[in-house]
Every structure is written in C-alpha cells, then in structure tokens.
Chain A
Amino acid sequence: MSAPRFATGARVRVATRHPACHHRVPAYIKGHAGTVERLCGVFGNPETLAHGGDGLPAQPLYRVRFAARALWGTRAEDEADTVEVEVYEHWLEAAP
C-alpha cells in the first residue's frame, strides 16, 4: 500500500461509478467535490471484503466535507450547512 495521497484541506472529487458489488459510497456524493477533513486510517476495502475477498490493497479512508449547497442546490436549508462522509481513497481524485 502506498502512502495516503491527500492531506487535510485538499480538494477532492468523488468518482461517479455504480459498481454492482457492495460499496460504501452513498449515491448523493458521487461526482461532487469536497474538502478532506482528516485521514481516518487505512482499512481493508469493503468492496472485496464483503464478497469473501481479502480487502487488499488496503485503502486510506478520509472524512470529506461537502457544502450542503453543493450536494442539494437550492434544496439545502442554509448556506453554512455541511455534510461529512467517509470515503476510501480509490473513490477520490484531486479537484481544482
């Protein structure tokens, strides 16, 4: 496993993929950009663990903060509201 790619404060975008396997990325953040709040650690990949696999390579897990406005547009209740979600590194790419 390589060192975690993203530092706290980095801008990242969540991939838009819809694999048929078990995965722990909620649909509402797919394709959206947010900011890394912290690295939580390195964990087995649930996408293979859930199907009898070994979870390797292990994946750095981040907490990513999204503006509610970015996720929900005008449905968001307040400009200042945020949502934080745990996302594994293989779902993230650097965002401008």
Chain B
Amino acid sequence: MSGGHEHHHGHDHDRTFQPDDDAAGLSEHMALVAAVRELLIEQDIYSAEDERRAIERMDARSPATGARMVARAWVDPAYRERLLADGAAAARELGIEIGPTRLIVVADTAETKNVIVCTLCSCYPRWVLGLPPAWYKARAYRARVVVEPRAVLAEFGTTLPEGMAVRVHDSTADMRYMVLPRRPEGTGSWSEEALAGIVSRDCMIGVALPDPAPHPAPGAAESAA
C-alpha cells in the first residue's frame, strides 16, 4: 500500500467499514471444527491440500450444469421424461457428476409454477446449481416463501399470469429439488446451447422465468460508447 489514499470521494471510512466475519471470536462449534480438522490432518487421514482441493471443486460447481439439463429436456421429450422420473440418473446420462444426490425435478406447466426452499436450513442441489445465493439461506426468504410465494416472486420481478397455481417445495429431508421451467415462446429455432444460456440459477430455484429477450445491464450502452 502506498498510503496515498485521499478522502475526496465523499464518505467516511470510520462509518463504512464492515465488521470482520471473525470479529466475534470462535464459538464452541467453530473451535470444535478447527480441532477435529487439525487432528485429521495430523493423523494423515487427509492433507490440508486435499481439503483445499475439495473446497475448490465444490466452489467450482455452477448453475450452467443444471441449465444444460433443462435445455436438453426442452429439445428432447424422451430426455424430459427421464429427467422427471429420476433427476440424478438423467444428470449422469449427460456425464454430470452428482454424487449421492437424489434429485427430484419438478416441471412448470401452464397451470402450476414451482418454487424451491428449505425452511429448516438451506438444502440446495449444489451438484447441479453450485453454491446457493445468500438470499436462499436467509431467514426472510425461508420463512416467507412458504406463506406468501406470490409476494416473494413479485419482489424478484416475477409476476404470474392469472389462474396459475404456485407449488412450493420444502426440501426438509433427503431429496433435493430443481425446477424445470417452461420453454419460452419464440425459441423454436434456438440451439440447445443458446437455450441453456437463458436458464439462470433463479429460474431453476423457481423465482424467475427464462426470458429470451436480451437484457443489457442498465448503463451498459453508455459505458460501451
């Protein structure tokens, strides 16, 4: 650091600094985890590098994997049937590693919109969607989406057509869930790869719908000019 940081940008660092994550010190459980980890490494059960690599592999998982499965289901009705019958087997069929996950894929229809939550903790199909977003784990989402899913969806900018029912899936035990959204109108000529590109993480949690229209970020046109 040069130390030449000047305060001409209109805020006060004393007030904008956030507390560090570990500011509260170790809880009993954090200390227990640290102790067990040290023992496992000391006794050569695994190495620190093994652990780092495992975390790196977990962090590298992404919603693009789930999007591939959705796009395939959109172009191949037989695959769609297999995906709905056994999500994990359908993932493996595409060469996707899914570990011990038991995956239930729930299909949106003209009559029903599906939404996923885990009200008890934060169960999430990590093998096919990657790490969950912070809001998925937040108490507000978990508590509200089972009671007022339409209000929550509206806050995500998703308004459902009149007469569509909402079905909330609470992942309370051994199964994991992914939503198979409906293929949007006007995408009949699209390639499977292009289709996968409009299937976002939020579409597969169920709080958003795939949208084939381009959505440049606000201000993108100006900054590109």
Interface residues of B in 159-206 (CB under 8 A from A): 163, 165-175
Instruction: Indicate whether B132 reaches chain A with its CB closer than 8 angstroms.
Output: no
Contacts of B165 in A (CB 8 A): 78, 80-82
What CA separation (Å) do A85 and B119 show in the bound complex?
Answer: 10
List chain A residues, Cβ under 8 A from B104.
40, 63
With most chain A CB atoms within 10 A of its CB, the pick from B146, B148, B151, B175 is B146
Question: DSSP majority for the B interface?
Answer: loop
B94 close to A (CB within 8 Å): no
Indicate whether A82 sits within 8 Å of B172 (C-beta atoms), given known contacts A26-B120, A75-B147: no
Does A72 contact B147, Cβ atoms closer than 8 Å? yes
Q: Which of these, A26, A75, A88, contacts B170 with CB under 8 Å?
A: A26
B145-163 CB contact bits vs A (8 Å, 1 = yes)?
0111111000000000001
B137 beta carbon closer than 8 Å to chain A: no
Contacts of B172 in A (CB 8 A): 24-26, 85-87
Q: How far is the CB of B171 from chain A (nearest CB, A)?
A: 7
Interface residues on chain B, size class: 20 to 34
Residue tally, chain A, CB below 8 Å to B: 27
Are the CB atoms of A77 and B149 closer together than 8 Å?
A: yes
Residues of A within 8 A of B148 (CB): 75, 77
B168, A88: Cβ atoms under 8 Å?
A: no
Contact of B173 among A43, A78, A82 (CB under 8 A): A43
* Neighbouring B residues of A82 by C-beta, 8 Å: 165-168
Q: Which residues of A57-96 have CB atoms within 8 Å of chain B's CB atoms?
A: 61, 63, 65, 68, 71-72, 75-78, 80-88
Q: What residue of chain A has the Cβ atom nearest to residue B168's Cβ?
A: A83
* A41 interfacial by beta-carbon distance below 8 Å: yes
Asked, given contacts A43-B173, A43-B174, A78-B150, whether A84 binds B168 with beta carbons under 8 Å apart, the answer is: yes
Please name all residues of chain B whose beta carbon is closer than 8 Å to the beta carbon of A86 when the two chains form the complex. Answer: 170-175
* Residue of B whose beta carbon sits closest to that of A85: B170
Q: A53 to B217: give the CA distance in the assembly, Å.
A: 52
Known: A72-B147, A77-B149. A24 touches B166 (CB 8 A): no
Q: Contacting B149 at CB < 8 Å: which of A26, A43, A81, A87?
A: A81
Task: Identify A77's interface contact among B120, B150, B175, CB under 8 A.
Answer: B150
List of B residues within 8 angstroms of A43 by Cβ: 173-174
Question: Given A40-B102, A40-B175, A61-B174, are A84 and B149 also a contact pair (CB < 8 Å)?
Answer: no
Given contacts A26-B119, A83-B167, 6 further A-B contacts (CB under 8 A): A24-B120, A40-B173, A43-B173, A82-B167, A84-B170, A85-B172
Give 3 nearest A-B pairs by CB, closest first: A80-B165, A86-B173, A85-B170
Seen from chain B, the residues whose Cβ lies within 8 Å of a Cβ on chain A are 102, 104, 119-120, 146-151, 163, 165-175
